[in-house]
Amino acid sequence: MQIDKCKIDELRSMLATPQRVLILAHTNPDGDAIGSSLAWAEVLKAEGHDVTCVVPNRYPYYLDFMPHAEEMVIYKSDEQTSAKAVRGADVIFCLDFHTMSRLDGLSELIDENQHAKRVLIDHHLDPMEDFDLMFSYPKASSTCYLVAIIVEQMFGAERISRDMAENLFVGMMTDTGNFAFSSVTPDVFRMVSILAEKGISIPDIHNNVYNSFTEGRARLFGYVINRKMKIFHNGTVAHMSLTAEELKRFWFQQGDSEGFVNYPLTIKKMKMSAIFTEHNDFIRVSLRSRGDIDVNVFAQRYFNGGGHKNAAGGKSFMTMEETLKFYEEKVKEYAAEGMLK
Ligand code: 5GP
Ligand code: MN
C-alpha cells in the first residue's frame, strides 16, 4: 500500500519541531486501537515529542502483555492526567476511530482544546471530515497496518523496534481474524514479514491474545451458544444476548465476550450475527456478516453506530426484550430490500 506523499510531507512538517502529542483511540479499545497507539507513541517519542496516549475506558485484561500497555492513560480512572494531556496538546492523533462519538464522555474534554492540530489515522468507513490531516483508508485491514506503512514511508522500516513490531502485529492479527478476512492483501503479509524479522514470537503473541482468558469466559461462552443463540430467517441470521445479571453470574470482565459474535458464522448457511450485551445505561450491539452483506449500513441505520462492512457495532437504549424484537423486525425489512442476499 502506498500513502499519498503530500500527506506524509504534511505530517513531517507538522512534526518538524518537538510537539506535545495526544494519541486517542476508541471506547472499549481493542488490539488494533491499543497496538496502533503504542506503536505510534514509540515512534513519536523517539523523534523527541512529548507523547501521551489516552483511551476512554480500560482495554481488556488479555492485552496487558502488550509492550508499554501500562503507559496508556485511562480517562475513566484518571481524569486528571487525561485532562492535562488533552489541554496541553499541540497535535491530537485519532487512531482507529472515525467519529468523536466513539470517545463517549472524553469527547467533551477534547472539545475544550480548539488550538491543537487534529490528525486522523483510521480504516473505518465514512470518517468525519473535521481533521487538519486525514489518513483514512477504509480498505486497510487494520490501523496497525496503516501505522506500519506510515512509519515505513516516513522513516524506513528500520525504525520499527521489536516492541513496536509486537504491538503492530497484535492489531494486524486481531482485526483480520488471524489474517483470514477479505481485507488481507499480499502487502499485509509483506509487512508481517518485516515485523517477524524484528524477532517477535508469533506463537507467544497468539497465546497471549487467544489463550489467556478466564474460566468464567469459557463457561459464559458455552452458556451463550447453548442457551442464548436464536437462529431465524431460515437459518441465515442469528442473535445472542447477555443481560447484566447473566454477566455477573459468570464473573464477567471487560473483554470476556469479545469474539462470541463470530461464532454463529461458523454455521454453514449463516449470513449475519449479532450479540447484545447489557451495560449500565445502554445495550452494546455487535454485528458481523459474511461476504456482501453490509452490517455497517445496518448499524448506522438502526443502532446509531457503524464500523466496517462485515464487522460493525452500535448502541440500543431500549430494554433487552425490545432490542431483540427490533433487531428481528429490522432484519426482515433489510431482507425485503434485498440486502441479505
Ligand atoms: P465490535 O463489534 O468488535 O465492538 O466492533 C466492530 C466494529 O464496529 C469496530 O470496527 C468498531 O469500531 C465499530 N463499532 C463498534 N461499536 C460502534 C459504535 O457504537 N459506533 C460506531 N460508529 N462504530 C462502532
Ligand atoms: Mn481497527
What is the distance between the alpha carbons of residues 282 and 177, in angstroms, rounded to a whole number? 27
Reduce the DSSP state of residue 258 to 3 states and report it.
coil
pLDDT digits (tens, 9 = 90+) for 274-306: 999 999 999 999 999 999 999 999 999 999 999
Q: What is the mean pLDDT of residues 261-278?
A: 97
- Domains by residue range for the chain, with CATH: 5-209 (3.90.1640.10), 216-336 (3.10.310.30)
Average pLDDT, the chain: 97
Q: Which residue has a Cα nearest atom 12 of ligand 1?
A: 307
Distances (CA, A) of 202 to 49, 56, 70, 97, 207: 30, 29, 21, 26, 9
* Segments in 183-336 forming alpha helices (H): 186-196, 202-210, 215-227, 244-249, 295-303, 320-336
CA distances from 30 to 27, 92, 170, 319 (A): 9, 20, 10, 26
Q: Nearest ligand to the C-alpha of residue 31? A: 2
C-alpha 305 to ligand 2 mean position (Å): 15
| Helix (H), strand (E) at residue 109 | helix 106-111
Read off the pLDDT of residues 72-99 as tens digits, 9 standing for 90 and up: 999 999 999 999 999 999 999 999 999 9
Hey, what amino acid is at 130?
D
What does the pLDDT read at residue 66? 98
Which pLDDT tens digit goes with each residue over 56-77?
Answer: 999 999 999 999 999 999 999 9
Distances (CA, A) of 38 to 20, 25, 161, 162, 193: 16, 10, 12, 12, 20
Q: Which of 208, 319, 211 is CA-nearest to residue 200? A: 208
69 alpha carbon – ligand 1 mean position (Å):
22
Check pLDDT > 90 for residue 129. no
- Answer for the pair 66, 92: CB distance below 8 angstroms, yes or no: no
Instruction: Calculate how far, in angstroms, residue 175's C-alpha sits from the geometric centre of ligand 2.
Output: 6
Q: With contact defined as beta carbons under 8 Å apart, do 15 and 49 qualify?
A: yes
Residue that has been written with the C-alpha cell 489516552 in this structure: 54
Give residues (CB < 6 A) around ligand 1.
26, 99, 102, 124, 286, 305-308, 311-315
Q: Which residues make beta-bridge pairs with 95?
A: 25, 121
